[in-house]
Structure 1
Amino acid sequence: MHHLYRMWYTLTMYAVVTLQDSDEVMVVASKWLTTDKKQSYWPPFRSPEKCMEAVQKGLKPETGGKPWEKLNISFHTEYVSFDKAKEGQKVIKEQKERSNKGFGILKRQRLENAVGVLKNQLQQFPPVPPASTSRMDDKDELLQMLRDIKSTAQENSAMLKKLLKDNTVSEAPSSTSVLSKDIKTNLNLPLKTFDDVDRIERELNTAASRKKYVKYLSGLGGIGPRDITKNIMQKVFTDDLAKEFNWQGRGDKRPFSKLILADVIRDAAYRQNVIRVNCENEIKKYLSYRADRLRKKPREQGGIGLEIPNVIAPTPVDNDIEMEEFWKLLAD
């Protein structure tokens, strides 16, 4: 009987969980879970290979006699083998990605519906009579017409701004929508020099520090992978520093992919429903664009190709990418 008990105790089972801070689906050793399965110990190793080895072997959750940090989790299910747990992890990840894709389509439809409403209202504006007609002599009538146009434009602008604001807020978890000034101040961003990068890499060696940065950066908002990633990168790096990096470190550039900060940015974007591969692609494009931009002489940008009086231009918003998409739809 004692022998059977020892066999059962040494048998390692594996659980599939979602880390609540990063919303990432992971496999952990079942013995790392708390009794209520709401928290799990997490290895402090920087190397993904070393973390995976710790999970597979079901190592005791401590280093040098010091227990690992506990992270809040959502428990899914357990498996008797590591390979089965990895398969379960893959299934849950695919379900999340399909759900996120459907959410993106819904946002697009909402935006297109809003544009359709704006187009219909713009078409209802009465044409301004030519200067040669007698109506131009009636100043009161012309002024009233302009007031009506301005009033309608203000309503349209308010509706569009509210729609874009609602979409941006929905991208970020409610727990990160309001951040204290203390958190922002302590992060010392954006980074300006290589010394700043070395400092933040040392700081990110602790799980608590990584969680703090992920929480802040995931609350910056944005719509779509490009906009979300751009908002994060602009907050983290100055342009002069960003141009010194590329993803693999080719040529005379430093490798961005080797930074712990790269993992933090991917985790922050993932909390806004940007999967890792899309985040990495946007980081690569961002770094390349910043390098090209600083090499070339700035040029004035042309118009957007759609002549609309100033009185009916939508109220400016911070989301440049979404406004660009809006104008393209409106011009169709």
Structure 2
Amino acid sequence: MYAVVTLQDSDEVMVVPLNWLSLDKKHCHWPPFKSTEKCTEAIQDRIIPQTGGKLWEKLRICFLGEYATFERAKEEQKEIEDWPHPLDTLLSGVKRQEFESTKVKSNNQPLPPVTPASTPRKSDDADKAEIVQMLRDIKSKVQENSTMLKKILKNNTVSEARSSTCAHSKNFKAKLNLPLGTLEDVAGTETVLKNSATRKKYVKHLSECGGFTTKDVVKKIMQAVITDDLAIQFNWQGRGDKQAFSQLLLTDVIRDAALNRNVNRGDCENEIKKYLSYAAGRKKPKEQEGLRNEIQNVISTSTMDKHPDIGAL
């Protein structure tokens, strides 16, 4: 997970890992690296914010929002940076007014003599610094409120659009032909997945299967993709008489869908391997249950034949 924040000392909008923030989200650890590339790499990898066991220094921040992927956070960062901020003009105006006021005094009037009763200039500077800091805090609050407002408007737009796209989603779901039950189904799906637009639709659909833990997310996706009868015919590498699941375009789609649920590639692959290896174990209880139901049906039919009066009751 990543966050978009404003560094209060510099007003820069930055993307940082969520694990670099303090619990109250008012401070952020910052790396001591001089190389921009090294800083970016540290952010993307979400490394622990310490060097040699010593935590990095903390910077004051204004928290603007959190996002599942680095790419999504960067998009939000760019949008925020492109927003116009009237307070920038206000800050510039305060500084310009101070300069012009000083200039008028120096050209038209002599400076007043310093007397014991006059207010020290140091106090004036402190007051001005306090005003500027207050304006900076207001600016950060405006950024935060703007982000919240944008999210509210976006959610309302999505809600309004959901009803119009519902029919389209149902139609597409019907075309998916999932879960796949035969090798012929797999071959057909591999063909349609060569189209990037169709592939994105598969990823979006499978991302909505649910689950909270890594195991649950991958399990729900696999259940939506493939039946146990077909899963028995696969293993990861295609050893023995099994097909290689790792070579399918469908597997890349599963990984992308899991990534949208914050499951990384390695963990996803491990759960897929387990799901395939346990397919036979899942299938056996289902067969036994089906056999019991069949026997029960035979017994019920036989009873009805011997005692037709039962059926009349």
Give the TM bin, normalised by the shorter chain: 0.3 to 0.5
Bigger radius of gyration among the two: 2
TM-score (norm 1): 0.38
Which structure is higher in RCO with an 8 Å CA cutoff and minimum separation 6?
1
TM-score by length of 2: 0.41
